[in-house]
Amino acid sequence: MLWLGGGLLPRLRWVSPSLLQALGHSLEECKARDFVQRLVHPEDLDRVLEAWRRVIRTGGSSSVEFRAEATQGRLVHLSVELSAVESAADGGGELIGTVRVLVPAARPVFQSPSTTCPLLGETPEEVAQELTRSEREHVELTDTVDGIVWSTDARFRFTFVSKQAERLLGYSTQKWMQEPDFWVKHLHPEDQDWAPAFCMKAAMECRAHEFEYRMIAADGRVVWLRDIVTVISEDGVPRELRGIMVDITEHRRAREYLEHMVSLLRATLESTADGVVVVDQRRRVTAYNRRFLELWRMSDEFRKDWDGEKMLRYALTQVQHPEQFRERVLALRTAPEQESHDTIEMRDGRILERYSRPQRLGDTIIGRVWSYRDVTTERRAQAERERLLHEAEEAIRVRDDFLSIASHELKTPLTPLKLHLQVLRQRAVSGQPFPLQHVEKALAQVARLSGLINDLLDTSRIQAGRLELRHEPVPLQQLTREVLADLRPVSPHHTLEYEEPDETLTIQGDRGRLAQVLVNLLENAIKYSPMGGTIRLTVERYGGQALVSVTDRGIGIPSDQKAHLFERFFRARNAPISGFGGLGLGLYICRDIVEHHGGRIWVESEVGSGSTFRFTLPALEGAADAHALPGP
């Protein structure tokens, strides 16, 4: 028999039908605010209230016996095991009461009709009738209890068994009381040793006890029973045992099934790669798995007295954007029905995906489930794939641009070359002399084609790591003067200025390749200064380095293009192929040649103000200068 209630002032919310029948009250009567105070005998009320409030405030359980006032003025002796369902210091908790009727041993009917009962003022016959009626009511009451009410002597021989025994186990009450070892004989084989030993030990200690075991019913069924036993003793010697056996078979099955499901869910929770934590509406942590602790770097010590607020404070110290994290959590608290999915960046560089959805019991939201997954590797792999895809797309674009530029650049000298050759052929056929200008122009176009092809070949060698250099002493001033002398005739609209130190600077390197670098930089200065002007070539010493600078006053280079200027096939956006020509390989080749000589090359430029290209080379002789090299 059960009841369910709560509050510091005891109030019942539910009472089992068997208890209602035993007391004779309706469920509505039991739900009244003062029912418990009216039910308990006044002399027992303080004791019941004390046990009730202790369980409500502290949790746990407590047993209490008291007299209950049933209908028609009857007093029923009850024993209640109070257990906390939910405790609360403010008295807002709930408890469940397991109630059993304390049944005294059967008493003999009044035997001597010849005497009177002065205390009652009734004749012996009337007293006997009253006792018979009371016993009948008592037996009828015990038969209504949802369990087997019993009593035995100190040797476990039954002296009373209620009729529920026949319904629950199928054995008649006479069989229970006639067979001295009935109980032990019908115990489940696995319980025949420990159960009698346990009960005997408790009886010898005159201690009330409660235990669960199995009995074999008449039809062979295994029935689980919870036996609640009170020991009646005199001078420390057990004289009688009284109790009630409650059928808990379905309860055990439900509990075993629940334990199985909980075990399955726990195993599933622990085996998942996601970190999971469940928080109820009061911010209490109700479930979590080990992966959650690992993802958030939480120690076992942290779990002591933790709740939703403590976890939030800790999480804010771990995430990259704490305010954004806090705002999202608070938003979900104000909208508990919402689901959520977002990404969290951790301060240690990891990336977590967060999923959140409400926890429901039926249609009622009772908490929130948070799930975290480490996606750092996946995100980095995705970023790497995107980078490789971008590089591939860029390579395809460069290839397409190069094919377009190369076809244009290779075709450009072929057209005038063809015209000059056609003119020469016509004059040869007609016997006319060959004009020297046509020959020179044809040779110039051939030289241009040769230069383009050489650039392509050099680029191929650089890519394959096969660009060969000769190493010999090269007088740098002499080399620069020779290059300038070759270029002056082809740049009549530009003034070429030159400045060099008095001392001789000698470079250990490839004379032809170094001349190629100077020619490329000077030709670029001429090409990108379409309006003419001054181009200045400077050679100077800085410590153990020779510094060569080529300065023009041309179109200049956008600042965001400088970093890419020495890349293969690159052309600044303000220098279209249609206006300036070239394959975009010259500076790429220059950088490789300079670096293979142990130097470096860079540019200083502003759009509309011209550019200065500088490169350094290790010098073989001369005292070191204290000046620092200029830089980009």
Same domain, 400 and 367: no
Query: Closest by alpha carbon to 76, among 46, 49, 99?
Result: 99
Residue 339 lies in a domain: yes
When mean pLDDT is compared across 76-90, 194-208, 398-412, the lowest value belongs to 398-412
Residue 473 lies in a domain: yes
Mention every residue, 6+ apart, whose C-beta is less than 8 A from residue 454: none
Mention every residue, 6+ apart, whose C-beta is less than 8 A from residue 370: 276, 277, 278, 279, 354, 355, 356
Give the mean model confidence (pLDDT) for residues 452-468: 76
Residue 118 lies in a domain: no
Picking from 374, 408, 429, the residue at the C-terminal end of a domain is 374
Average pLDDT in the chain = 83
Burial of 459 (0-12, 13-18, 19+ CB in 10 A): buried
Please tell me the predicted confidence (pLDDT) of residue 411: 66
When mean pLDDT is compared across 164-173, 473-482, 576-585, the lowest value belongs to 576-585
Pairing of strands 364-374, 275-280: antiparallel
What is the edge-to-edge ordering of all strands in the sheet holding 148-153? 158-161, 148-153, 237-247, 222-234, 209-216
Which tokens belong to 391? 């590089």
Please write the tens of the pLDDT for every residue from 329-359: 999 999 999 999 999 999 999 999 999 999 9
Please tell me the predicted confidence (pLDDT) of residue 358: 95
Residue 379 lies in a domain: no
Same domain, 97 and 159: no
Please tell me the predicted confidence (pLDDT) of residue 630: 61
Q: Looking at the 3D structure of the chain, how many domains does it have?
A: 5
Q: Which of the residue ranges 427-431, 449-453, 541-545 has the most confident prediction, judged by mean pLDDT?
A: 541-545
Please write the tens of the pLDDT for every residue from 380-422: 999 999 999 998 888 787 677 666 666 656 666 677 777 778 8
Same domain, 242 and 223: yes
- Looking at per-residue pLDDT, the higher value among 540 and 100 belongs to 540
Residue 110 lies in a domain: no
Annotate 321-358 with DSSP letters as a single string.
-HHHHHHHHHHHHH-TT--EEEEEEBTTS-EEEEEEEE
Q: How far apart are CA 365 and CA 491, in angstroms?
A: 85
Same domain, 417 and 358: no
Would you place residue 88 in the very low, low, confident or very high pLDDT band (cuts 50, 70, 90)?
Answer: low
Residue 567 lies in a domain: yes
Please tell me the predicted confidence (pLDDT) of residue 115: 43
Please, what is the Cα angle at 182 between 179 and 188, to 5 degrees? 160
Q: What percent of the chain has pLDDT over 70?
A: 85
> Which residue is associated with the tokens 């080399």?
479
The CA-atom distances, in angstroms, between 312 and each of 309, 318, 322 are 5, 10, 10
Please tell me the predicted confidence (pLDDT) of residue 371: 95
Please tell me the predicted confidence (pLDDT) of residue 120: 40
Would you place residue 626 in the very low, low, confident or very high pLDDT band (cuts 50, 70, 90)?
Answer: very low
Give yes or no for residue 472 having a pLDDT over 60: yes
Which CATH number belongs to the domain containing residue 334 in this structure? 3.30.450.20
Which CATH number belongs to the domain containing residue 573 in this structure? 3.30.565.10
Give the mean model confidence (pLDDT) for residues 73-95: 76
What is the edge-to-edge ordering of all strands in the sheet holding 351-361? 285-288, 275-280, 364-374, 351-361, 340-345
Judge whether 508 and 474 are in contact, CB under 8 Å.
yes
3 state DSSP class of 167: helix
Same domain, 95 and 175: no
Give yes or no for residue 455 having a pLDDT over 80: no
Burial of 256 (0-12, 13-18, 19+ CB in 10 A): exposed
When mean pLDDT is compared across 4-8, 276-280, 506-510, the lowest value belongs to 4-8
Please tell me the predicted confidence (pLDDT) of residue 625: 46
Would you place residue 323 in the very low, low, confident or very high pLDDT band (cuts 50, 70, 90)?
Answer: very high
Q: How far apart are CA 347 and CA 349, in angstroms?
A: 5
Give the mean model confidence (pLDDT) for residues 424-447: 79
- Which domain, by its residues, includes 29? 2-101
Please tell me the predicted confidence (pLDDT) of residue 573: 58
When mean pLDDT is compared across 152-156, 349-353, 395-399, 425-429, the lowest value belongs to 395-399
Please tell me the predicted confidence (pLDDT) of residue 79: 87
Query: Closest by alpha carbon to 456, among 410, 414, 418?
Result: 410
Please tell me the predicted confidence (pLDDT) of residue 85: 64
Sign of CA dihedral 388, 390, 391, 393: positive
Would you place residue 580 in the very low, low, confident or very high pLDDT band (cuts 50, 70, 90)?
Answer: very low
Please write the tens of the pLDDT for every residue from 353-379: 999 999 998 889 999 999 999 999 999
- Neighbour-count burial for 174-208, b at 16+ CB within 10 Å, e otherwise: ebbbeeeebbeebbeeebbeebbeebeebbeeeeb
Give the mean model confidence (pLDDT) for residues 202-223: 94
Mention every residue, 6+ apart, whose C-beta is less than 8 A from residue 289: 269, 270, 272, 275, 276, 277
Residue 584 lies in a domain: yes
- Looking at per-residue pLDDT, the higher value among 632 and 363 belongs to 363
Q: Which of the residue ranges 58-62, 88-92, 181-185 has the most confident prediction, judged by mean pLDDT?
A: 181-185
Same domain, 22 and 63: yes
Please tell me the predicted confidence (pLDDT) of residue 600: 94
Query: Closest by alpha carbon to 213, among 231, 236, 202, 197?
Result: 197
Please tell me the predicted confidence (pLDDT) of residue 114: 42
* Count of all residues that appear for the chain in the document: 632
Give yes or no for residue 574 having a pLDDT over 60: no
Which CATH number belongs to the domain containing residue 408 in this structure? 1.10.287.130
Give the mean model confidence (pLDDT) for residues 156-169: 91
Picking from 440, 462, 484, the residue at the C-terminal end of a domain is 462
Picking from 253, 287, 312, the residue at the C-terminal end of a domain is 253
Please write the tens of the pLDDT for every residue from 241-270: 998 999 999 988 888 888 888 888 888 888
Q: How far apart are CA 558 and CA 573, in angstroms?
A: 8
Please tell me the predicted confidence (pLDDT) of residue 127: 45
> Which residue is associated with the tokens 């009253």?
130
Same domain, 495 and 613: yes
Same domain, 80 and 143: no
Q: How far apart are CA 52 and CA 95, in angstroms?
A: 8
Same domain, 341 and 440: no
3 state DSSP class of 164: helix
Strand-pairing partners, residue 323, are none
Judge whether 620 and 473 are in contact, CB under 8 Å.
yes
Same domain, 90 and 160: no
Amino acid at 198: F
Sign of CA dihedral 12, 18, 21, 23: negative
Same domain, 607 and 473: yes
Give yes or no for residue 119 having a pLDDT over 70: no
Would you place residue 109 in the very low, low, confident or very high pLDDT band (cuts 50, 70, 90)?
Answer: very low
Query: Closest by alpha carbon to 93, among 10, 3, 2?
Result: 10
Q: How far apart are CA 574 and CA 529, in angstroms?
A: 13
Judge whether 525 and 554 are in contact, CB under 8 Å.
yes
Please tell me the predicted confidence (pLDDT) of residue 15: 84
Please tell me the predicted confidence (pLDDT) of residue 135: 54
Residue 90 lies in a domain: yes
Mention every residue, 6+ apart, whose C-beta is less than 8 A from residue 36: 5, 10, 11, 12, 48, 52
Give yes or no for residue 581 having a pLDDT over 60: no
Please tell me the predicted confidence (pLDDT) of residue 219: 95
Same domain, 445 and 553: no
Please tell me the predicted confidence (pLDDT) of residue 104: 44
